[in-house]
Amino acid sequence: MITPHGFINTEGHGKDIFGKDTARFIGAGAGIVQDSPVKPPVATRHKLPQTRRSDTVTFRLFYQESGDEEQFYLTVGLYPDGSPGELFIHSSKSGSIIKSLLDTWAITMSIALQHGVPLQILCDKLSFISFEPSGNTGEEFGVAKSAVDFIVRWLAKRYLQYDYREVK
């Protein structure tokens, strides 16, 4: 029997590596059938200590059409081992759409980091994303294609000792 989510209910089909029952999944492709866990494993949140160290960096980006400049402040809350666990982004323009989107993105990044998503994976997926404001951020990073691009490249260089200028 196929459930509304596309799974075939096959009782006793097997167990995944976590000991959970698996079902067979029919993909959207031409008859592709693959084993898939019924539920993903439950992630555990690792909260930061109440008092913690942090790093703060400031950077400026520009809007191409208007030439307006926007200054950003990034604060990274750190675990005791020095790895990042939360992000806070503040913008010089109150009420801007980009400020709200970046706040939401910072919360999402913080949740991902606290649930064990490796920083390397986040940086790989989000580097070189392009939208305004963008522009020259100084000699260290050169041109940033967006605030997100600058932030993930800065995080990679600071905490992973990895420079994205060399790859893309």
119-133 per-position pLDDT tens digit: 999 999 988 888 878
Q: Is the peptide bond before 49 cis (omega within 30 degrees of 0)?
A: no
43-93 per-position pLDDT tens digit: 889 999 999 999 999 888 887 777 777 888 999 999 999 999 999 999 887
CATH of 54-166, one of 1.10.1330, 2.60.40, 2.170.15, 3.30.390: 3.30.390
How much is the pTM?
A: 0.70
Domain with CATH 3.30.390 in the chain: 54-166
User: What is the rounded CA–CA span in Å between residue 146 and residue 82?
Assistant: 26
82-120 per-position pLDDT tens digit: 999 999 999 887 667 888 889 999 999 999 999 999 999
Ranges assigned E (strand) in the chain: 7-8, 22-26, 33-37, 54-62, 69-78, 84-91, 135-136, 143-144
